[in-house]
Amino acid sequence: MNKVLTSALIGLVSLLTVARADSMESLLPTEKPSVTFETAYQSSYDVAGLQLSSGAAYGSVALSTPFKYMDLNLSAQTAGERFNAFQAGLDKTLNLADWLSVNAAVGTGYYIVDGQNRNTLNATLTLEKLGVVNKLFTPYVGYTYDVTGLNLGSPTLADFTNQGITVGAKRSFNIGMGSGADLALTPYAEFTHFENYESFKAGGRLAIVLGNKLSPFVGVNYIDNNVTLGQPYSYDGKTQYTVGLSLTF
């Protein structure tokens, strides 16, 4: 695990230390933590707009814990030897007005793809509510710093660092179906300008939530990039799909 991930973990510990100095109460969750288990098949795996591995079944677990000053999010995903991902992040929602709030999030990801590893750092600002200004979608902007440990087809491009800015929009729909079941649809579209390439993603996830816990789901994404680093990393207008089942406690 390289210096990028180590620095992120040190920052997390520092933030928790400051919170403890303010109050012991701030170290305790304000609500019951949420844990989600997921198993599915995904047709391809990507990080920062690069296609890294072909399709495989995966299992994942995600933990979300709300605290007084921030929410802590941890997740792990594995597709065996082909793809593994570990992510940690903090986020906080600030209410600026009755019709506007801003969610600020920072995080880090550590990935192992076909025996090779890489890290990312990211920060995202999301404008929420927007009931008066805009009822159609939620805009967001993000920053990603990608430390690549993969062989990108050229010795001069191996272990390069890559940063980019993302602009996008999403929308959540929840439709009650009766008998304790809900239909949840989340479409989105985003464009990222990286130093070495550009990528575009659009799609969504459709889930049937049964009793607020069990959710069969399907996800479809259209991905395109102008990568010239080698064919394995290129998405030339490709459709990526995911089919699976999640369980939340």
Q: What is the pLDDT of residues 62-90, one digit of tens each?
A: 999 999 889 999 999 999 888 899 999 99
Domains in the chain, CATH or no CATH each: 28-248 (2.40.160.40)
Is a pLDDT exceeding 80 seen at residue 178? no
Number of C-beta neighbours around residue 30 at 10 A? 12
| Contacts for 34 with CB less than 8 Å, ≥ 6 apart | 63, 64, 65, 248, 249
Q: Measure the CA–CA gap between 213 and 177, rounded to whole angstroms.
A: 15
Q: Measure the CA–CA gap between 39 and 244, rounded to whole angstroms.
A: 6
- Confidence (pLDDT) at 231: 56
For residues 241 and 1, the model is more confident at 241
> b vs e for 101-131, b when ≥16 Cβ sit within 10 Å of the residue's Cβ?
eebebbbbbbbbbeeebbbbbbebebbbbee
Q: What is the pTM for the complete model shown?
A: 0.82
Identify which of 19-28, 111-120, 134-143 has the greatest average pLDDT: 134-143
- Confidence (pLDDT) at 113: 80
- Confidence (pLDDT) at 9: 57
Residue appearing with tokens 């109460």: 25
Residues 115 and 105: beta-carbon distance below 8 Å: no
